[in-house]
Structure 1
Amino acid sequence: MATTGKVIKCRAAVAWEPNVPLMMEEIEVAPPQEGEIRIKVVATGVCHTDLYHLFEGKDKRGFPTVLGHEGAGVVESVGPGVTDFKPGDKVIPLFLSQCGECKFCKCPKTNLCDCSWSSKYYDIMSDPTTRFTCRGQPVLQFMGTSTFSEYTVINQIAVAKIQDDAPLDRVCLLGCGISTGYGAAVNTAGVTPGSVCAVFGLGAVGLAAVMGCKNAGASRIFAVDINEQKFEKAKVFGATDFLNPKAYNKPISEVLAELTNGGVDFSLECVGNTEVSEVSTAIILEAAREDFTACLCHEERVLKLG
């Protein structure tokens, strides 16, 4: 390509500081270095993690930055040492890398690659090593990806090649939201054939969880949300029963217990709210409580487990 080995000027949404709206800027994107890939971003989603870093992040060292970690694009050029990718390949950036060599990559119980940006720079949500500049100063790459830019440079261990006919405006969601919900059902929870499941929250993550439960063979899937307009879409993804907590004069946990003869086998909380998390754990059958995983994003939030 004509741009290979050259600095590319393009548009990007830059977050200059916390709690300040993004600014559309012209940035410079340097050529990829050893083991790196420069990607033309075709489509990107917006995840709440992007909004969290912008409006609730407390560490100013994470700015200025280009947000976005849920995208898809086409390889523009590759740096020295890159053999698995070539210009023209369709790819999905990964905010969780896989070097394939460290002890974490070789362990089947974790995906926390020791070479990932998060292993060293979790507090600022970025790797200080960046190929972006704007107004004469470096701009960080959020979560090692930065898909709110027309071009980005990513380490080859944080890129997944996809088929040539993949619709980029759809598969971009696989970079975070879809894999989060689907993986929670299939991998983390390990939904089993014939089981009864409940999914709280029917956003992108929740719908993906519903899909995961269905594909894992669940016989009954309760979709729980206060917005009933989401029920029709949840039905398409595989939900069988639909509950709006506001439609009952009793706790939704009691409603579910009555409808399932005591509780469900698997419960997935896809809202990000500790009160909902407490409800979702309360309706799991005692016999099904072999494992429990919780992820709290805000240090001031407390989840009651008993």
Structure 2
Amino acid sequence: MKQAKFPMETAGKVITCRAAIAWTINAPLCIEEVEVDPPKAGEVRIKIISSGICGSDNHILEGKTKTPLPAILGHEGAGVVESIGEGVSSVKPGDKVLTITVPQCRKCDSCLHAKGNCCLKADVIYPVGLMLDGTTRFTCRGMKVHNLFGTSTFTEYTVMHEISVAKIDDAAPLEKVCILACGVPTGYGAAVNTAQVTPGSTCVVFGLGGVGSAVVLGCRAAGAARIIGIDINERKFARAKALGVTDCLNPRNFKKPIQQVVVEMTGVGADFTFEAIGTIETMVAALESCNLSYGVCVIIGVSPTGSQLSVDPMKLVSGRTLKGCLLGEYKTRDHIPLLVEDYMKKKIDVNSLITHSLPFVKINEGFELLRSGQCIRCVLIF
């Protein structure tokens, strides 16, 4: 496939386009006309082709995760570079790219460390919703509109820092690989990088949505013998089993705590557990579900802003390991393009995670599919 050619007449100019704006929490997104400024030095303007709807976006709309509003949400995007700012060298107009919430500046302590991937220029842990210079590139109704995690993909055009843009294979189908910008590497990497799941092991996955399903793929790829999936929405069970889950549990079907059920099922507790929901209760349950001596528990879910995780220290003194995981521990600009290559070689089954595709204007329908548990991942097509 030849590289996409992009008209240059828009370079350096403000672009007027459509975007879905979150004006307030607990309300539908509004499709609005917005002005998108041209990129400044070190920045890239991207025409968005597709975007996944992630649970993190929903947490913001429900008020669980605090971020400045009004904002253009969305972070799991794929698109084509429209124009670049001064000094940008890693991408050029016409390149296919993924929008990454965790940048890789390749200069800070975290980027330079062999294991670190939480770049110090990221806006994902305590988001302020602005570019690194403290401004925004979006305007609507004469008001400045915040971005999300330095990405914002629920818009026909967005502006990002070069350090957050991953150039990918020009043959990659953008309507599929967008979820490799967040959900897939977050879950898959939690299994293969953070936990380092071993062949023949028993794994437990709390939450069978998009990220939890990607955890299942990672556990299966690593050779896990048993994968127990836990969710209160039984609509997800059939799809989960098709991905590789061996046992499905609904905590509401038991009179005892689900961690006790898991320990009794396994006899000694699981080797590896993963929390992909984002509540304190399920994080504690995941920790207590793993083997008290050598079990590894990985926290992936985004907890409500300001929440505190309280754990009996004796749960750890016995030998358990409690770990956190951000975007699968991948150094994003280095490794995300390699995951796209693996997808192209059919090594990672991304397609099975995309259960629904909708036109961008039906974005609120996509969120309803997510909330009802009817989809694993819904992708918006622009």
Same fold (TM over 0.5): yes
User: Equivalent residue of 2:136, what SS?
Assistant: strand
Checking the alignment, whether the CA contact within 8 Å between 1:277 and 1:303 is kept in structure 2 is: no
Q: Is 1:236 aligned to residue 242 of structure 2?
A: yes
Alignment correspondent of 2:93:
87
2:22/2:30 contact within 8 Å kept: yes
Question: Which residue of structure 1 lines up, in the alignment, with residue 187 of structure 2?
Answer: 181
Does 1:63 find its partner at 2:69?
yes
Aligned twin of 1:148: 154
Q: CA 1:256–1:20 in structure 2 vs 1: closer, same or farther (change >3 Å)?
A: closer
**In structure 1, C-alpha distance between the alignment counterparts of 2:296 and 2:55, rounded to whole Å:** 30
Deviations 1:3-53, CA, capped at 9 Å, x for gaps = 222221100112234444422211111221211111111111222322333
Between the aligned residues of both structures, percent identity stands at 49
Give, as a single letter, the amino acid of the residue that structure 2 aligns with 1:50: D
TM-fit CA distance, 1:108: 2.6
Does 1:73 find its partner at 2:84? no
The aligned residue for residue 379 of structure 2 is none
Q: Do 2:43 and 2:84's aligned partners in 1 also have CA atoms closer than 8 Å?
A: yes
Equivalent AA in structure 2 for residue 16 of structure 1 = W
Distance 2:210 2:55 in 1: 11
Q: Secondary structure, in 3 states, of the residue corresponding to 1:25?
A: strand
- Cα distance between partner residues in 1 of 2:271 and 2:146: 43
- Return the alpha-carbon distance in structure 1 between the equivalents of residues 299 and 198 of structure 2: 17
Contact 2:65 2:304 in 1 (8 A): no
CA contact 2:100–2:181 (8 Å) conserved in 1: yes
Judging changes above 3 Å, is the alpha-carbon distance between structure 1 residues 245 and 139 closer, same or farther for their aligned structure 2 residues? closer
CA distance in 2 between partners of 1:59 and 1:299 (Å): 9
| Correspondence for 1:261 | 267
Kindly provide the CA deviation profile for residues 43-85 of structure 1, in whole angstroms up to 9, marking residues without a partner as x: 112223223334426878x222211111111111122222221
1:12 maps onto 2:19 in alignment: yes
Matched, 1:34 2:37: no
Q: Aligned partners of 1:161, 1:147: CA distance in 2, in Å? A: 16
Q: Residues 18 and 57 of structure 1 are in contact (CA less than 8 Å); yes or no, is this contact kept in structure 2?
A: no
CA distance in 2, matches of 1:190, 1:88: 37
* 1:114-193 correspondence to structure 2 within 5 Å: 114-118=120-124, 122-127=126-131, 128-193=134-199
Secondary structure at the counterpart of residue 49 of structure 2: strand
Q: Which secondary structure does the structure 2 equivalent of 1:99 belong to?
A: coil
Q: How big is each residue's C-alpha offset from its partner over 1:68-106, in whole Å with a ceiling of 9 and x where there is no partner?
A: 111111111122222221222111111110011111101
Residue type of the partner of 2:128?
A: I
Answer whether contact 1:132 1:139 (CA < 8 A) is retained. yes
Say whether residues 1:210 and 2:216 are aligned partners.
yes
How far the C-alpha of 1:265 sits from its partner, in A, is 0.3
Query: What code does the residue aligned with 1:36 have?
Result: E
Give the CA deviation at 1:264: 0.8
Q: Counterpart of 2:43 in structure 1: which amino acid?
A: E
Contact 2:273–2:298 under 8 Å retained in 1 = no
Match of 2:52 among 37, 42, 45: 45
Separation of aligned partners in 2, 1:159 and 1:209: 24
Letter in 1 for 2:244: G
- Match of residue 113 from structure 2: 107
Q: Using the alignment, how far apart are the partners of 1:42 and 1:20 within structure 2?
A: 25
Q: Matches of 1:240 and 1:254 in 2, distance apart?
A: 18
Output the aligned Cα RMSD: 2.4
Q: Is the 1:266–1:288 contact (alpha carbons within 8 Å) kept by the matching residues of 2?
A: no
In structure 1, how many angstroms separate the alpha carbons of the residues matched to 2:102 and 2:306?
A: 22
Point out the more displaced range, 125-134 or 50-59: 50-59
Code of the aligned partner of 2:103 = S
Query: How many angstroms apart in 1 are the aligned matches of 2:64 and 2:265?
Result: 41
Match in the other structure for 1:3: 10
SS at 1:233's partner residue?
Answer: helix
CA distance in 2, matches of 1:154, 1:7: 15
* Other structure's SS at 1:157 match: helix
Aligned residues: 303
Structure 1 residue 146: deviation in Å?
0.8
Identify if the C-alpha distance between structure 1 residues 292 and 172 changes in structure 2 by more than 3 Å, giving closer, same or farther.
closer
Question: Once the two structures are superposed, what CA deviation does each residue of 1:233-252 show, in whole Å capped at 9, x if it has no partner?
Answer: 22232222222333444433
Structure 1 gaps of 5+ residues are none
Check the 8 A contact 2:17/2:34 in 1, yes or no: yes
> RCO higher in 1 or 2 (8 Å CA, sep ≥ 6)?
2
